[in-house]
Structure 1
Amino acid sequence: MSAPVLKYQGALSALSSEARRRLLERAGNEADAQVATRVQALIARVRAEGDRALFDFARQFDRVELKALEVPRERWDAALESLPSGVRGALERAARNIARAHSAQRPVPMEVETEPGVVVGRRPDPLGRVGVYAPGGRAVYPSSVLMGVVPAKVAGVGEILVCSPPGPDGLPSAGVLAAAALAGADRVFALGGAGAVAALAYGTQSVPRVDRIVGPGNAYVAAAKLQVVDAVAIDAPAGPSEILVVADSRARADAVARELLAQAEHDPEACCVALVLGESLAQDVSEAVTRQARAAKRGEIVLSALGSRGAVLRIDSLEEAWPFVAEFAPEHLLLATATASADLARVRNAGTVFVGQRASVAFGDYLTGANHVLPTAGLARAYSGLSVLDFYRWTTWQSVTPEAAAAMADDVGTLADSEGLFAHADAARAWRLP
C-alpha cells in the first residue's frame, strides 16, 4: 500500500495538543492578517473612487477590460436558454426544493399582552435589497446562486443583486448567469472579490448599496465581508470547506472516504476529519482515502487539503465522539452510524447535519433543498446556516391603553429616578390618571 496522504491518524485520545489545536483552530492565521490588510486598501479605493476602482480591479485581478459593470438581462437569459437540458432540469429541480424548504421556514408575526392593556408585537419585514455573491475562482458554483437568490425571493426581498467575477469575455460564467435567470435575480454585475463586497456595502455610481450580503467566496471575499459590517449585514463569516464524519462498524470505508474527498476538492485549506469506531474500520478508511485521493481528478487540491488538515481518528465508543463534535463545530457533519437518527439529538454545534450514511453531503450541496451556505471554522457554535430568516428584519411594536399607562407610571418613574434619568420619570408620571 502506498504511503498515506492524511496528516493525522491514530486514536483520537492520543492526538497531540498541537494536532488538536490545528484541527480545532481553523481561522485567524498570519495569512489571514495579510489578506485583511490588502482588503482594507481595496475597500478604501472603492469608497473613494467608486466605479473607477472597480474597472481597475477587473484589469488588475481578472485581466479583462470591462465595458460595463452590469450584465444586460438578455445575456443571462441567453445563458439559461443555452444550458444543456440535463443541467437545466437539475437546476430547476434544485430551485423547486430550495423554495419548498425555505417557504416552510417563513416567520410569522406575533403579539402578546404582557399585562392588561399592554401589547407587545413583533413583525417580520422583508429586506429592501440584498446582494448575493457567487464565486468564480477555482470552481464556479451556479448552485450557490440558487442558495442565495431563491430564499430571498421566498422572503419577498424587494431587489436581489448577484455579483460574480468576470471571465475573459467580460461576463460571469454562463452557469452563474443561467442560475441568476432561473432563480429570479433582478440585476447581475460582473464583479468579484473584495471590490464586489465593497460596492454592495457602500454603493457606487453603478452598483446600489444593499441591506445584506450573502454567499460564499475566497479569503478576500470573507475578509471584506467582515470589514464592511459597519455598513451592511452579512450572513456569517466563512472560510474553507470542512467536514466531520462520525462512523461506526455499519459504515462503508469507501463511502466515508468519498465524503472526505468531496470536501477536500473544494480548497487546499479544507479540513476533513473522520472519527471512526474501531481499529479495523479506521485502517480501512485511511487506506480508502489514500487510494481515492491519488486517483482524484482534482488531485492536487485534494492531496494538499488532506496533507494539511486531513484526519482519520479512531474512537473506542460513540460517546467519545460527541465532545469533539461540539468543540469542532463543523460546517458539515455526517452521522454514518446505525443509530444516526438517535445520535442527531446529541449534536448541538454543526452548520448542517446529514443523518445516515446515504445522506451524502453532496445531496445537501445540490438537491435536498437545505441551504449549503454554512458557517465554518468552528463558528457553528454561534452561527446558523443561511435561511429565509436572513432576508428579514423584525419590527417590534408596543401599544398601551390609558388605564395601562396610569398603572405603569409610578413604577417606571421609580426605576427611571433610580438610574438618574429624570426626564424619563417625568414622561412616565405625566400619564398618571388625575
Structure 2
Amino acid sequence: MRERDGSEHRRHQRNIAPNRIDVVQRAASLGFRIDPADSEHDDQPGIDAVLADAATTAGSTVWFPDGTYNLLSGSARQPNAHIVLVKSGVNLEGQSRERTILKSGFDDQGRNSVYGMLLQGVHDVVIANLTVTSSWNRNYSTDSRSNNPDAGGLTYSIATSSAGHPTYNVTIDNVLVEKFRRMGVRIGAGSHDIVVTTSLARNATDVGGGGAGYGFVIQGDKHKTAKTNPYLGRPDQDTYFVVLDGNRTDGPYIRHAVIIQYWAHNNLVTRNTFEGTQLDAIDLHGEDEYANEVSHNTVIASQRAGIGLGNSGATHDKTGVDNWIHHNELTGCAWGITVQYGTERSTIEHNLIRDNTALAHPPVAGVILGNSSNSVLRNNRFVNNTVEGFSAIVLKDDRAMGDEAAGGPRNWTILGNSVINSGTPLVDTSKLGSGNVVQPSW
C-alpha cells in the first residue's frame, strides 16, 4: 500500500481498551438479563444497553464470555441490525471464536437487508474472537446460476459504512461468519485503514448471483462510469488502505472469496487461503477497482479462476489500472488467472499455477488474456497441469462487455515464464490484438 507520493503506508495500530466490561454482569447491573445458553431468550436488548453504557467510559472493551447469545430483535438505534457500533474507542471481543456465538434470528429472504453487526462512522475499534451466525436451517445450494429458493439468514454478518463520516482504524480479528445471504464481511463506502485478519467465512446461504455468497468484500459507494475515481476527496465515500491478511474461506457454499469493487483502491489482499469457491476466488470485479495488491495467497480448487481481473455482467467490464498480482499459489483451479473486458496496466508476476487436473470450460488454461492491454506477464510458473488440452497461456478474443468493445490482448509483454509438465506453453491466436511481445523461457 502506497501513499500518493509513493511512500509506504503503514497499518494502523490496534486499539487498546483495557477497561474490560463483562457483558452479562454489566447487563444485570443495568436491569437486563443476558442468558449465554442457546435459548428463546432475546439477549439483544441487554447487549444494546451495555454498548450504550460502555460508550460513556473511555477505553472500554465489551467482553463476551463463551456462550450463545440469541439476537432476536434489532437495535434501538437501527432496527435492521442487531449490534450497531457508533462510539469510537470501544472494542467488542469474545472469549473464543468457536464458543462465543452471536446467533441471529433475522431471516433475509431477499426483501430487506439485515445486519449482524454494523460499524458506522467509528474509528479505533476492535472486533475479535467470536462467531456471527444465524438460526437459518434450510437447504444450501451450489448452483452459481440460479438463486437458492431457500436462501436466508443475515444479509451481511459484519459491515462497515460511513453514516456520513469515514470509518477507520478498525481491526476485525479472528472472527467466523456464516449463514449469510450476501456478504460475510463487507468493508463498505467511506472506510479506510481497516484490517481483517485470521478470520473465516463459510456457508453462505446463496451462491446464485446478484451479490450473493461473497466472503470478504472491499467496495466504494456504488459503481459509477467515469474516467477517474469520482470518490477521491470524499472520505465518506472512498474506500482504500484495507488489508485482508491471513483469512480463509471454506467451500463449497461461497461464490467468491474476495470481491474488490466500486473504485476501491490501494488495498492489500495477502497470505489468505481460499478453497472450493464456485466462481473466481479473488475477483477484481470489473468496476474500476485500481492500484490493489494481491500477493502470497493460496487458492485451492476454485471452480473458475483463482484470480480474475475484469468481469462480465450488467454493470461490469474492466478492472482499473495498476493492479499488482504476485507470488500467489493457485492449485487445482479451473483457470489460474484471467484478465478481460478492457482491463489495462496490470502486472502479473511470480505466481505458481499448478495441478490443474479438472476439465474446465474451454479454453483449458493457466492464464487467459482476453480484451486487455499494456500489461506484463512475467516469471510465472506452470507446473503439473496435466488435464487434456491444457495451455499455459491463452490469448483470446472477448465479446463486448459493458462500455468495452469486443477485442483481444494488445501490447502485452510476456517473458520469463516457465512451463513444466503442463501441455502447450502458448496458444496465440495472433489475428486477435496486436503489439504483444512474447519472449518465452519455456
TM-score, normalising length: structure 1: 0.24
TM-score, normalising length: structure 2: 0.24
Q: Which has the higher strand share?
A: 2
Which of structures 1 and 2 has the bigger CA Rg? 1
Q: Which has the higher helix share?
A: 1
